Structure 1
Amino acid sequence: MNRRPTRLAVLTLTAAAALTLSACGSDDGSKGRDSDRIAGADTEDKASPSTGPSEPGTTGRPKIYLPSDVTYEFQWKKTGDAPKDAVLHDAEQRIRAVDMAIAKQDPLDKGYRFYSEGAAAAESQKYIKEFVDHKARTTGLTRYYNESLTIRDDGTAALVYCEDQSKAFNKFLKTGKTDVTPVTKDSYVVYAGTLRKNDKGVWVTERLISQRGSAKCQP
């Protein structure tokens, strides 16, 4: 029987895909880690470097590698304002880094923790572990759009954006099965985040809330 946790209320989530896990007993019953991940992945799931935007001049940024079937369409517009564009870049890298941690089945992966701190990092860890517990990862295309960004007087940034999960799904590592779910209004999620520039010059996400089925994000 499928188990589908419902996430319709505003939740403290930081996961890139925010996919609702559904697992059949035959899909998540194995113990131990499967080879269907970045480390030691087979040809089908061969990891490839993330094709995100060029990185700002901050040293020590983690390389982000993702399975070839994990793709994105970021429709965030360049603002022409250097600080705002840096915020958007680092928010995008956090999204990719969380999916990388899911693919690696590592709730403590350094990648997403480079781009998040505090409550956001803690909630990401919980979310990634949920995929690990189900021996699943993300697959498909996720679209990000309809963003709004403000840098406040206190130096923090407020970022709101939409996520289209209609072509993004869960893939179970033991069987290789993709859980293709129907598209509904809940396939569209709105996020509201708070970011702060740390001493490394990175805009880290400190808090992120989400809501499924938001009218703001419907096609």
Structure 2
Amino acid sequence: MTRRRRRPARLAAVTLSFAAALTLSACGDGSDSASNDNDKVSGADAANEPSATPSESEPTEVDRPKVEPPVDVTYRFEWGKRGDPAEDAVLRDAEQRIKAVDMAIAEQDPLHEAYRFYSEGEAAADSQKYIQEFVDHKARTTGMTRFYRESLHVKNDGTASLAYCEDQSKAFNKFLDTGKTDVTSVTKDSYVAYAATLRKNRKGVWVTERLVSERGSAKCQP
């Protein structure tokens, strides 16, 4: 998953377990699907826990982790509010997951609680691997990413599908040892398409369970 820009030299493209190649992107994703028990992040198996149904009472307050990426990591979410409480909640939690992955990268913590709060299953495991690549290269993200052309469908069974585009043309890798930013030229691969599957858990949080991306997607070109 992974919005992700970023592997030295924009951390070269990462192969997702369930889709084609993905690279860096603020959404945070990452590597091979083949993982053994030692590769699993804490809470990854939570994807098997029953979804909350619309009829179930929801907690009035959720103790959410604080998500604060570095000040030089900024975002432009163009999808805005839709007026439907459920749809707005999905978009809000999707945004938090994206920011949480960047924060984990900046703090060089592949098991950061923030992104694991907003992702489970394949998405959480792939994010862990994605973040680890930045740690291995002693790099993090910097710059601004734009999110646009979203398509959202919330189902009655407590799940949702979200597709969107990401513009990484103003987002780059920054190396921690030197402080140098790897500014790359803008190409068609600066634009990434994502398709996410989310589920509303018992806390009332929309967690991302699966995230697939396509770098250079024609539908995301300016």
Q: What range is the shorter-chain TM-score in?
A: 0.7 to 0.9
- In the alignment, the residues of structure 1 paired with residue 186 and residue 10 of structure 2 have an alpha-carbon distance, to the nearest angstrom, of 17
Cα distance in 2 for partners of 1:165, 1:83 equals: 28
TM-score normalised per structure 1:
0.78
Alignment-derived partner of residue 123 in structure 1: 126
> Could you tell me how far apart the structure 2 residues matched to 1:2 and 1:110 are?
27
Could you give the per-residue CA deviations for residues 80-135 of structure 1, whole angstroms, max 9, x where no partner exists?
00000000000000000000000000000000000000000000000000000000
Aligned length: 184
Q: Does 1:5 align with 2:47?
A: no
- Checking the alignment, whether the CA contact within 8 Å between 1:150 and 1:158 is kept in structure 2 is yes
2:217 is the counterpart of 1:217: no
Q: Secondary structure at the match of 1:91?
A: helix
Task: Give the conservation status (yes or no) of the 8 Å contact 2:13–2:23.
Answer: no
The correspondence for 1:102, drawn from 86, 95, 105, is 105
Q: Please name the residue that 1:155 is paired with.
A: 158
**Secondary structure of 1:165's partner?**
strand
Going from structure 1 to structure 2, the CA distance change for 1:68 and 1:202 (only over 3 Å counts) comes to same
Contact map agreement 2:10 2:23 (CA 8 A) in 1:
no
Q: Secondary structure at the match of 2:66?
A: coil
Q: 5+ residue gaps in structure 1?
A: 21-55
Q: Which runs of 5+ in 2 are unaligned?
A: 1-7, 31-58
Q: Which of residues 144, 168, 171 in structure 1 aligns to 2:171?
A: 168
Q: C-alpha root-mean-square deviation of aligned residues, in Å?
A: 2.5
Amino acid aligned to 1:189: V
Q: The residue matched to 1:138 in structure 2 has which SS?
A: strand
Please tell me whether the aligned partners of residues 166 and 183 of structure 1 are also in contact (alpha carbons under 8 angstroms): yes
Alpha-carbon distance in 1 for matches of 2:201, 2:24: 18
